[in-house]
Amino acid sequence: MPSNTLDKVELTAAPDKHQHFKIFKPYGFLSQFVPETRKNKKLLAELFNFPEKTMAIGRLDHDSEGLLLLTTDGMMSHLIRSKKIEKEYYVQLDGNISAAAVLALQNGVEIGVNGEKYQTLPCKVFKLTQEPLLPLRGRKIRDPRHGPTSWVSITLCEGKNRQIRKMTAAVGFATLRLVRVRIGGIDIATMQAGDVIPLSGFNAVLGR
């Protein structure tokens, strides 16, 4: 075999045996593949013919939407769920959020987690100057005549159960709509609700 060919063979990396995806989880879907007992809920398996052993990396609750990463690699799931990876959300609030409330969210607020008090970590929060361009939710939020709403961006490196909803409630503003728009360096871009895009890997998330 010629030496240049041998070099190419030796330097070729083994292909990733796992499969990875990014999806735009629609409102009303559970972030899982196995149905819960006596609950007739929509599942991720309805969106695409995913390979066996595909798992969601983290979760978005039934009422939340947006970016969700899926993989067949359990180790990759563990890395991305760590506090080293940012997760950004666009949040529509009931009412016009004040600068004081934004500051409180930035510094951390007290919420309840598993029946105990928990102080959220400092995070990035800012008010959006205009409504973000997002797909229609499919279910009306509420009648605009009931009062103003506002949008904020919240970026966390932690993920307690329903954390953002609890955080905004703690400063006096109920969450009306919650959409995750970015995980690390991967964002939803122009994805529509229900879209599934295969990925070659998660280097953009891990900063590699």
- List residues with catalytic annotation: 61
**Helix 163-170 with 99-107: angle, nearest 10 deg:** 130
What's the maximum distance between 2 C-alpha atoms anywhere in the chain?
77
Distances (CA, A) of 124 to 47, 55, 76, 84, 102: 32, 28, 25, 14, 9
d(CA 122, CA 105): 8
Contact 173, 208 (CB under 8 A): no
In this structure, the dihedral spanned by the alpha carbons of residues 21, 23, 205 and 12, taken in order and rounded to 10 degrees, is 20
Nearest CA to 175 among 140, 129, 141? 141
Could you report how far apart the first and last alpha carbons of the chain are, in Å? 34
